[in-house]
C-alpha cells in the first residue's frame, strides 16, 4: 500500500485540458477550408520533435509558445494556408492558451484540492499556463513549468524540482498524467504515479491505448475517479 501523497503534480495538455477539440475549433475559425482534425494532429505531432531539438542542444532554451509558433508556420505551409495575416497567425498560436478542460476536470480538481496541494508540471511555459488557468478556471495552488527548471520532461530535474520546491520527498508527490512516458520519467525519480485514461485525446481518427500497464500507483478513468481512489 503506497503512502498518501502530499502533492499532486499534473501534466496539463491532454490530461487536464482537451487540446484536440479546442485546437480543432480554433483552426476551423481561422482556416475554414482545411481539414481541422488533420491540421490539429499535425501541429501536435511537431511538439515532441521540437522539444527534442532543445534537449539535444540544437536549439537553445525555447518556450513552448515559441516552439508552437515555429511548428505552426511549418504546418500552415504544409496545408497551403497563405491567407492569414501575421497578427492572425500569432492569435491562432495563442489557441494553446485557450484550451478547454475535460468535462470531469474541474470537479475532480476541486475535490482533490480539498485534501492535497495541486500544481501543474507541464512543458508549457508559465505565461501560457497562467492564461489557460484563468480561461478554463483551473484551481491550481501553484503553477510549475519546465520553464522554471529549464529542462523539458522527462528530464529528472523537472520531477525532482517539484520535491525541492515543496520541500518533500519524491514519493510524497503523485504525478498525474495521461501519458505513460511522462509517468515512467516520474517513477524513475521516485514519484508515485497516476495514469488518467483519455482515449479521445487525439480525436476520433487516432486510436490511443489507455489500458493498464500495471506499473503505476493508480489507474483511473478520469479525475473524478482518481478523487474517489484517494478518498478526496
CA dihedral defined by 153, 155, 156, 160, rounded to 10 degrees? -40
Whole-prediction pTM: 0.96
Residues 6+ apart with CB under 8 A from 113: 139, 141
Q: What is the pLDDT of residues 40-88, one digit of tens each?
A: 999 999 999 999 999 999 999 999 999 999 999 999 999 999 999 999 9
Do 7-18+99-229 and 19-97 have matching folds?
Answer: no
Cα–Cα nearest to 164, from 4, 7, 5, 3: 7
Q: What is the pLDDT of residues 115-158, one digit of tens each?
A: 999 999 999 999 999 999 999 999 999 999 999 999 999 999 99
Grid cell, residue 30, equals 481561422
Kindly give the interhelix angle for 19-30 and 86-93, rounded to the nearest 10 degrees.
Answer: 160
Contact assessment for residue 226 and residue 176, using Cβ atoms and an 8 Å cutoff:
yes
> In this predicted structure, what is the pLDDT of residue 105?
98
Contact assessment for residue 159 and residue 191, using Cβ atoms and an 8 Å cutoff:
yes
Q: Residue 1 pLDDT > 90, yes or no? A: no
Overall average pLDDT of the 160-165 stretch: 97
Q: Where are the domains of the chain?
A: 7-18+99-229, 19-97
Residue given cell 500552415 in the structure block: 76
Q: What is the pLDDT of residues 176-190, one digit of tens each?
A: 999 999 999 999 999
* Pairing of the two strands 173-177 and 117-122: unpaired
Whether CATH 3.40.50.1000 fits 7-18+99-229: yes
Class (C level, CATH) for 19-97: mainly alpha
> In this predicted structure, what is the pLDDT of residue 2?
78
Q: In the chain, what percentage of residues exceed pLDDT 70? A: 100
Q: What is the pLDDT of residues 193-219, one digit of tens each?
A: 999 999 999 999 999 999 999 999 999
Q: In what order do the strands lie in the sheet with 7-10?
A: 142-145, 117-122, 7-10, 173-177, 192-196, 218-220
Neighbours of 141 (CB within 10 A): 13
Tell me the longest C-alpha to C-alpha distance in the chain: 58
Contact assessment for residue 14 and residue 124, using Cβ atoms and an 8 Å cutoff:
no
Neighbours of 181 (CB within 10 A): 11
Q: Is the alpha carbon torsion for 99, 228, 232, 162 positive or negative?
A: negative
Phi, psi of 177 (to 5 degrees): -155, 160
Grid cell, residue 166, equals 515543496
Amino acid at each position: 500500500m503506497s503512502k498518501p501523497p502530499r502533492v499532486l503534480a499534473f501534466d496539463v495538455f491532454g490530461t487536464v485540458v482537451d487540446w484536440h477539440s479546442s485546437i480543432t475549433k480554433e483552426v476551423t475559425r481561422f482556416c475554414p477550408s482545411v481539414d481541422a482534425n488533420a491540421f490539429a494532429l499535425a501541429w501536435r505531432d511537431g511538439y515532441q520533435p521540437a522539444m527534442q531539438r532543445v534537449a539535444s542542444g540544437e536549439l537553445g532554451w525555447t518556450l513552448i509558445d515559441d516552439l508552437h509558433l515555429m511548428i505552426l508556420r511549418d504546418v500552415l505551409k504544409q496545408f497551403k494556408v497563405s491567407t492569414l495575416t501575421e497578427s492572425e497567425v500569432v492569435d491562432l498560436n495563442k489557441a494553446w492558451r485557450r484550451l478547454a478542460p475535460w468535462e470531469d476536470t474541474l470537479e475532480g480538481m476541486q475535490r482533490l484540492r480539498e485534501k492535497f496541494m495541486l500544481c501543474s508540471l507541464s512543458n508549457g511555459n508559465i505565461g501560457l499556463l497562467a492564461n489557460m488557468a484563468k480561461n478554463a478556471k483551473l484551481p491550481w495552488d501553484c503553477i510549475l513549468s519546465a520553464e522554471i527548471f529549464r529542462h523539458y520532461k522527462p528530464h529528472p530535474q523537472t520531477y525532482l524540482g517539484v520535491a525541492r520546491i515543496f520541500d518533500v520527498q519524491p514519493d510524497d508527490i503523485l504525478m498525474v498524467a495521461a501519458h505513460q512516458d511522462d509517468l515512467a520519467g516520474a517513477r524513475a525519480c521516485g514519484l508515485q504515479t497516476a495514469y488518467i485514461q483519455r482515449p479521445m485525446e487525439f480525436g476520433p481518427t487516432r486510436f490511443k491505448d489507455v489500458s493498464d500497464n500495471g506499473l503505476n500507483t493508480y489507474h483511473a478513468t478520469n479525475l473524478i475517479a482518481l478523487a474517489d481512489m484517494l478518498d478526496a
